[in-house]
């Protein structure tokens, strides 16, 4: 009779571990950092606005793909990477970096068909003590009338090109912070 109880206890412990209810080295006394605190910490540093070109804005769902392009001259390898990553988690990632340019994908997550995002600003937050220099992207929700009647939700992404010649001389892209959507 002791073996079934032991097995049930082991199954319960494994389930708790898998679901994350038991967290080693966790400090539950510290509240999570809010988006407002992160933005405030970045805005305490000097922000240098940077120029960028939005090459594509895409909505991808199981039912449709809708895309607006401003430049059809995107290299095939960049285009393939961009298309392959439409279903990733929200954030920004470098698709390709050359001596002169950086191609960046911005992914704002899933939204209803009539919703999307606009880029409010892109800037470099200079290094400050323990804070490394970082690229700071601020997004704002937008209403996309063109896809208003489309069914369901879609992943909303944008392809951006930035000219590195306009960046501070010693800036190396190691961190990207994104807020807004």
Model pLDDT for residues 134-158, shown as the tens digit of each residue: 899 999 999 999 999 898 999 999 9
Strand intervals (E) in 11-113? 47-49, 53-60, 65-69, 91-97, 101-112
Report angle CA 118, 124, 130 to the nearest 5 degrees.
130
Q: Model pTM greater than 0.85?
A: no
Edge-first strand listing for the sheet containing 65-69 = 65-69, 53-60, 153-163, 101-112, 91-97
Say whether pLDDT at 19 is over 70.
no
Q: CA 79: distance to chain centroid?
A: 18
Say whether pLDDT at 132 is over 90.
no
Token digits of residue 129: 């003590």
Say whether pLDDT at 121 is over 80.
yes
Say whether pLDDT at 6 is over 60.
no
Asked which of 12-21, 51-60, 124-133, 172-181 is least confident by mean pLDDT, the reply is: 12-21
For residue 169, the model assigns a pLDDT of 79
Higher-scoring residue by pLDDT: 124, 1: 124
Token digits of residue 148: 């208003």
For 150, phi and psi rounded to 5 degrees? -70, 150
The 10s digit of each residue's pLDDT in 25-60 is 333 333 333 344 444 444 566 788 999 999 999 999
């Amino acid at each position: 009779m002791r073996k079934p109880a032991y097995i049930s206890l082991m199954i319960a412990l494994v389930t708790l571990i898998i679901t994350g209810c038991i967290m080693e080295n966790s400090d539950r006394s510290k509240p999570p950092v809010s988006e407002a605190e992160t933005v405030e910490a970045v805005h305490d540093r000097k922000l240098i606005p940077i120029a960028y070109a939005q090459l594509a804005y895409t909505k991808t769902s199981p039912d449709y793909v809708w895309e607006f392009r401003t430049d059809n001259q995107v290299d095939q390898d960049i285009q393939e990477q961009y298309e392959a990553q439409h279903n990733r988690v929200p954030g920004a990632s470098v698709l390709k970096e050359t001596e002169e340019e950086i191609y960046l994908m911005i992914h704002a997550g899933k939204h209803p068909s009539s919703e999307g995002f606009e880029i409010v600003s892109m800037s470099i937050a200079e290094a400050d003590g323990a804070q490394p220099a970082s690229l700071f992207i601020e997004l704002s929700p937008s209403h996309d009338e063109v896809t208003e009647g489309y069914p369901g939700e879609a992943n909303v992404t944008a392809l951006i090109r930035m000219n590195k010649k306009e960046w501070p001389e010693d800036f190396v892209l190691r961190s990207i912070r994104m807020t807004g959507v």
